[in-house]
Amino acid sequence: MPKTVAGIDHLLAQSEKYLTGKSVGLVVNHTSLAGDGRHSISHFKSHSGFTLHRLFAPEHGLYGTAQDMDPIADEVDPLSDLNIKSLYGKNEASLVPDSALLEGIDNLVFDIQDVGARYYTFIYTMANCMTICKKAGVRMVVCDRPNPINGTSVEGNLVGKDWRSFVGQYALPNRHGMTAGELARLFNADIQCDLQVVPMTGWNREMWYDQTGMVWTPPSPNMPTLATATVYPGMCLIEGTRLSEGRGTTLPFEQIGAPFIDPSKLAVRLEKDSQLLPGVFFRPQYFKPMFQKHAGEICAGLQFHITDRNQFKPLLTTLALLRAIAELYPDQLQWRTEPYEFVSDRLAIDLLYGNEKLRETLFDADFSLERLENSWQEELASFSQLRQEYLIYF
């Protein structure tokens, strides 16, 4: 099996090549491990050439214990005794660090594992840090890690300008097929900070995470496995509904349901779209979430079993699921209306999809999955051309 070496290992081996000055701040979490299994914090705390000055933590906290959208308080790290500044607090302003916090820091190093879907907030924490580095005159260093669901597959529409949020801060498709380092290069076309990307070695675009030889560290509490990441570019849309996306169970995003669904009836209905949905089959499933939506209730729905991950279309599959439920249960399929990722004036489903078109057409008699998929292609072609300028691996 090939062994991928993450950017952090190359940074530690050749720090003078990528870093400037003598001090470092780290934007890290529990996934920030070097190849020897030690945390980036530990390595920099004992680094002879640089002083570790401050820590910054994204959504879910430094140790990945908080649930989605739970505000994180500032803390002290027991490993280093350093202050941890939360970049996911109680309001939108907390998402961007104060430039004063970068005083005395020459390099801000970002080393966090992403999952390859535009909704995942770590890449926007990275972008916000890049913006503040530009303002403060600090070097931003991004240590690259694999896109776990490969770097070739792209799917979906781009986020419209009126629908930008912390689950879609840039015009990316739902599945972008880029690494964090490549996205940093793309974002920096606008931000223009002093950016250094530390590339990986031993990774190519066709690789999935389980082909890298690297240890999988769940990036957040509801991203336990690579299988979860595989379905997530589509199934995250369920967060915009009253359906359970499987949070509070051992199979988040791999199973969905609600108390009102007849799972066998739903499976039969979805089979009508099977020719459009390669690489997956649907199994009727009952489950009981321990927390979040329908906590303590028996939900009925489907579990998604991926049979060919290279052919599987996570977004189209989720849209087929939502359409099937809309047909069978038009009065019971409802949208989430509570504030979502600090946004209260637009619905979560629109923020996640990237515009209002899905919500406005899903219940129409002439709704067509094929037409919806075709509607993405012009934007995807434009994105693919733009994306090519910022790719590091071929």
Which pLDDT tens digit goes with each residue over 216-274? 999 999 999 999 999 999 999 999 999 999 999 999 999 999 999 999 999 999 999 99
| Cβ neighbours of 142 (radius 10 Å) | 31
Closest CA to 297 of 288, 284, 306: 288
Domain boundaries, the chain: 7-215, 226-363
* Amino acid at the residue 46: S
Enter the CATH code of domain 7-215. 3.40.50.12170
pLDDT of residue 79: 86
> Does domain 226-363 fall into CATH 3.40.50.880?
no
With a cut of 90, say whether residue 358 has pLDDT above it: yes
Residues in the chain: 394
- Using the predicted structure, report yes or no on whether residue 67 has a pLDDT greater than 70: yes
Report pLDDT for 152: 98
| pLDDT given for residue 76 in this prediction | 95
Say how many Å lie between the first and final Cα of the chain, rounded: 19
Contact 181, 144 (CB under 8 A): yes
> 3-class DSSP state for residue 316?
helix
Residue 198 has, within 13 A of its CA and on its CB side, a CA count of 26
* Residue range 343-366: mean pLDDT, rounded: 97
Long-range Cβ contacts of 389-392 (<8 Å, 24+ apart): 389/186, 390/178, 390/182, 390/183, 390/185, 390/186, 390/189, 391/151, 391/178, 391/182, 391/205, 392/144, 392/179, 392/181, 392/182, 392/185, 392/197, 392/199
CB burial of residue 336 (10 Å; 0-12, 13-18, 19+): middle
Residue 385, pLDDT score: 97
Residue 354 and residue 160 in contact, taking contact as beta carbons nearer than 8 Å: yes
Task: Give the β-pairing of 280-287 and 299-306.
Answer: antiparallel
pLDDT of residue 1 exceeding 60, the answer is: no
Q: How confident is the model at residue 2 (pLDDT cuts 50, 70, 90)?
A: low
Give 127-160 pLDDT, tens digit per residue.
Answer: 999 999 999 999 999 999 999 999 999 999 999 9
Question: Has residue 172 got a pLDDT over 70?
Answer: yes
Give the model confidence (pLDDT) of 176-217 as tens digits: 999 999 999 999 999 999 999 999 999 999 999 999 999 999
Task: For residue 201, give the 3-state DSSP assignment.
Answer: strand
In percent, the amount of the chain with pLDDT more than 70 equals 99
- Say what the pTM is: 0.97
6-44 tens-digit pLDDT:
999 999 999 999 999 999 999 999 999 999 999 999 999
The stretch 338-348 carries a mean pLDDT of 97
